[in-house]
Structure 1
């Protein structure tokens, strides 16, 4: 029996083991909704188990975990996925939408202190929810001898793209030199308007479409770089669900950059009282069914009226 055969025989036995390293975390948010806590596969219309989620993640080269940023159950489940990958002998490389790529040095310089990393990154000052929600995800990757990577556009480049001053090199790098299909352009513009409560001046929409495309491409670039490393992986993206949707955004850009690499998109979606059929959640994304490989339904976080807050902020900015 060759050494290679022994290795794969051992892997087969390991993957066949049904036991969890740990069960999925109990929800923190009360839901009282028939979908809460369930996992659905849109492509087949079938319910899946948490074990199916981990099996799919173990078979992927890139795993994208889409969240609502202030939902604690989403972050608890993301950390659990990373811990289960580690328990399977993987070394996840964690890519964070929340950190601009020009701040990678801050991560590297403070990676030995996960508790203090958020402060070093000015996490909450930059508008992200409490670092304690994200810290377990980072700790799970580090415990597996994995790595943590910044994945978002630097702020100065974001401003240049918004102003249309990015230049041909940036256009080529992020695919901005290639126009979107008209239907995709229209859909992305509609998402941006709705995401800003239909309060944006119309002249701001096209620049924000460019920025969104560039952000997706920047995250895809980081993931593609990490996916090329055989000693590490899978690459795991933590990002808002709009970036992770399988029909556009990061997955589509990645498909062009790393053809054939197995990808898995998981959308952690908050339940809505009026929606008890899983396919109905595609409406929020402008699609027949939600555009993810797997959907994990969770309770809904309590939050202030974001549109009222945005309207108040914009009125304040408009005052002379």
Structure 2
């Protein structure tokens, strides 16, 4: 190998490493992914640093007058703060969004993200499939054709793994359809909120925003978007191929999610 070729290959490797190097600050992150009409922020739901990132991104875009809307997985489609004044108190905001802690999304964690958008004068919009529509989605075989056969299989495998192989096989296909319906609903909601020259921020779990598996597959052709996945600890390396940027945070304390899930299922 010649010296010149060695230098070229070394430069290519360096550039590749830089492309996947996590941005150190929110401004650096935005410089990497903007402009884009839709910015997807994936999270691990139990990592407080990820909700802090969402708040900081919302506030940074608002300061630039580039924030179109905040769409959230944590709120059902059809709910919105549209029409509320920017100084609305938290109680009014929660009522508009039908937000209760019993829904599994603690206000103490997500409230700062929501209120950052409200205070900036942009709407917070529910993007998740309404619970009332879930039963119909479970039996809607048309959803199986909304993605390729390989993506469908990977979604089914993900449902099995995320439920620690505790689900009966008969539930895998119906629950996968709910996941697909959620991705489709999130995509539709984000697109409807697009304003030329500004950015819709979509907040959802990492499984929903993966470029090769989730919401991006359900966007209409030609709708530009960027994906940022927030990952705790060593899991960040696995996220890089399916996102435009990865925001790394410290590793979380170990938890036996499967033992917790098994206990919950036994109680039911």
**TM-score, normalised on structure 1?**
0.70
* Structure 1 Cα separation of the partners of residues 107 and 39 of structure 2: 22
Q: 1:225 to 1:127 in 2, by over 3 A?
A: same
* Structure 2 Cα separation of the partners of residues 43 and 263 of structure 1: 21
Deviation string 1:121-159 (CA, Å, 9 cap, x unpaired) is 24310112x212212212222232211101011111112
Aligned twin of 1:31: none
Q: 1:226 to 1:313 in 2, by over 3 A?
A: same
Aligned twin of 2:122: 146
* Structure 1 Cα separation of the partners of residues 38 and 228 of structure 2: 11
Aligned twin of 1:36: none
Aligned twin of 2:265: 314
CA RMSD in angstroms, aligned pairs only: 2.6
Aligned twin of 1:237: 202
Structure 1 position 205, deviation (Å)? 0.4
Structure 1 position 109, deviation (Å)? 7.7
User: Is 1:248 aligned to residue 213 of structure 2?
Assistant: yes
* Structure 1 Cα separation of the partners of residues 135 and 191 of structure 2: 24
Deviation string 1:82-128 (CA, Å, 9 cap, x unpaired) is 111111122330001011114x16x4587722356447724310112
Deviation string 1:137-186 (CA, Å, 9 cap, x unpaired) is 12222232211101011111112211x1x59xxx5xxxx26353232122
Structure 1 position 57, deviation (Å)? 4.3
Structure 1 position 190, deviation (Å)? 0.9
Question: Secondary structure of the residue that 1:199 maps to in structure 2?
Answer: coil
Aligned twin of 2:184: 217
Aligned twin of 1:261: 223
User: Is 1:191 aligned to residue 173 of structure 2?
Assistant: no
Match of 1:82 among 58, 62, 69: 58
Structure 1 position 62, deviation (Å)? 0.4
* Structure 2 Cα separation of the partners of residues 301 and 114 of structure 1: 29
Aligned twin of 1:270: 232
Aligned twin of 1:101: 77
Deviation string 1:61-93 (CA, Å, 9 cap, x unpaired) is 100000111211001111101111111122330
Question: Secondary structure of the residue that 2:71 maps to in structure 1?
Answer: strand
Is the 8 Å Cα contact of residues 91 and 145 (structure 1) preserved in structure 2? no
Question: Secondary structure of the residue that 2:53 maps to in structure 1?
Answer: helix
* Structure 2 Cα separation of the partners of residues 92 and 295 of structure 1: 23
Unaligned 5+ residue runs, structure 1? Answer: 1-40, 283-288
Q: Which has the higher helix share?
A: 2
* Structure 2 Cα separation of the partners of residues 246 and 43 of structure 1: 20
Structure 1 position 213, deviation (Å)? 0.6
Structure 1 position 216, deviation (Å)? 0.2
Q: 1:76 to 1:100 in 2, by over 3 A?
A: same
Is the 8 Å Cα contact of residues 68 and 199 (structure 2) preserved in structure 1? yes
* Structure 1 Cα separation of the partners of residues 227 and 108 of structure 2: 24
Question: Secondary structure of the residue that 2:103 maps to in structure 1?
Answer: coil
Is the 8 Å Cα contact of residues 90 and 144 (structure 1) preserved in structure 2? no
